[in-house]
Chain A
Amino acid sequence: VTGPVGRRGPGGSPRVGAARLGLGFAAPEPAAVDTDRASAVFGALADPTRRALVETLGRDGAATATQLSSEFPVSRQAIAKHLTTLARAGVVAGDRIGREQRYHLDPQAFEPAISWMAAVGAAWEDRLEALKRQVERRP
């Protein structure tokens, strides 16, 4: 049994996957969608409070956790934690203003997520077209 070719994710860590099932396939090059980045963005946006923060920053521009907490029914600490999560995913970026970070949206962050949706949507369109040909060909 030969192992996969040893591709590593952008983070440099090897992933477990098909090889661990013991079926011994080598992995072909995956499509050019950065699923790690897409996943980080989707994960960050999975929370309704974080989506609302993104919406607010998109509407009002840059703001600090203190400023944002006046608009949300949660504590400044909770807002700061959500902003840290969004920053880690690259959805927002912060500039230090005095003792606080002032956050703004980074639109580039959404590119991997949008690419994922486009690539996955196109893949299913092709597959379903092939399925249609296959099942409608039968007697």
Chain B
Amino acid sequence: MTAPEQPVSITRSVSLDAPAETVWEALSQPDELGAWLGGDVELDVQPGGVGTAALPDGMWSILVTAAEPGARLSWLWWRTDGELSSVEFSLLPAGDATVLTVVERCCTLPAAGASGGTTARAQLTLVRR
């Protein structure tokens, strides 16, 4: 009974024929991010940054929880009337290509004590107030 508590998650990976630097720009520049997410994104991509994404499936509010240029980006997001989930991107250079993996976890707040969880929860309280 010592297994960690895990919300349900989905994982998808893609091999991109582009250097990690290029992939990072597509993740961290709001206009580029919006282009491939299929909508308009206004987001300050740095830890604690907040913003919104108007996507085909709804209006998302976003709180960035981690941003390590060229390596990792994670955020919490939720739709206006929906539950919160976390999204984590990790970039793995593979020669001239980059393997990008995205994990989305539904639908719980990060556990207190988990890396960054307490801080994210506090920031989220501020954002949602």
- Judge whether A29 is part of the interface by a CB distance below 8 angstroms: yes
Q: B107 contacts A134, CB within 8 Å?
A: no
A36 to B78 Cα, complex, angstroms: 12
A131 CB to nearest B CB, Å? 4
A92 to B22 Cα, complex, angstroms: 48
- Judge whether B94 is part of the interface by a CB distance below 8 angstroms: no
Please judge, given known A-B contacts A19-B80, A28-B58, whether A138 and B22 are in contact too, CB under 8 Å.
yes
- Judge whether A121 is part of the interface by a CB distance below 8 angstroms: yes
Q: How large is the interface on B (under 10, 10 to 19, 20 to 34, 35 or more residues)?
A: 35 or more
Please judge, given known A-B contacts A39-B83, A127-B38, whether A20 and B6 are in contact too, CB under 8 Å.
no
Main DSSP-derived SS at the A contact region? helix
| Pair count A-B, CB < 8 A | 151
Using an 8 Å CB-CB cutoff, how does the interface string of A28-41 with B read, 1 for contact, 0 for none?
11110001101100
A52 to B3 Cα, complex, angstroms: 11
Q: B26 contacts A17, CB within 8 Å?
A: no
The chain B residue sitting closest to A39, CB to CB, is B107
Q: A8 contacts B37, CB within 8 Å?
A: no
- Judge whether A21 is part of the interface by a CB distance below 8 angstroms: yes
Q: How large is the interface on A (under 10, 10 to 19, 20 to 34, 35 or more residues)?
A: 35 or more
Using an 8 Å CB-CB cutoff, how does the interface string of B18-39 with A read, 1 for contact, 0 for none?
1000110010000010011110
Q: A131 contacts B17, CB within 8 Å?
A: no
The chain B residue sitting closest to A37, CB to CB, is B83
- Judge whether A136 is part of the interface by a CB distance below 8 angstroms: yes
Q: B12 contacts A17, CB within 8 Å?
A: no
Stretch at the interface among A63-71, A100-108, A112-120: A112-120
B80 CB to nearest A CB, Å? 4
Which of A17, A31, A43 sits near B78, CB closer than 8 Å?
A17
Q: B82 contacts A120, CB within 8 Å?
A: no
Q: A121 contacts B80, CB within 8 Å?
A: no
Q: Which B residues are closer than 8 A to A by beta carbons?
A: 1-3, 5-8, 10, 12, 14, 16-18, 22-23, 26, 32, 35-38, 42, 50-52, 54, 56-61, 78-83, 85, 100, 102, 104, 106-108, 127-129
Q: List 5 A-B contacts (CB under 8 A).
A: A16-B129, A21-B52, A27-B81, A48-B2, A138-B22
Q: A18-B52, A42-B8, A124-B10 are in contact. List 12 more A-B contacts (CB 8 A).
A: A17-B128, A18-B79, A21-B127, A23-B42, A27-B59, A30-B80, A35-B79, A35-B106, A36-B82, A39-B83, A45-B8, A132-B16
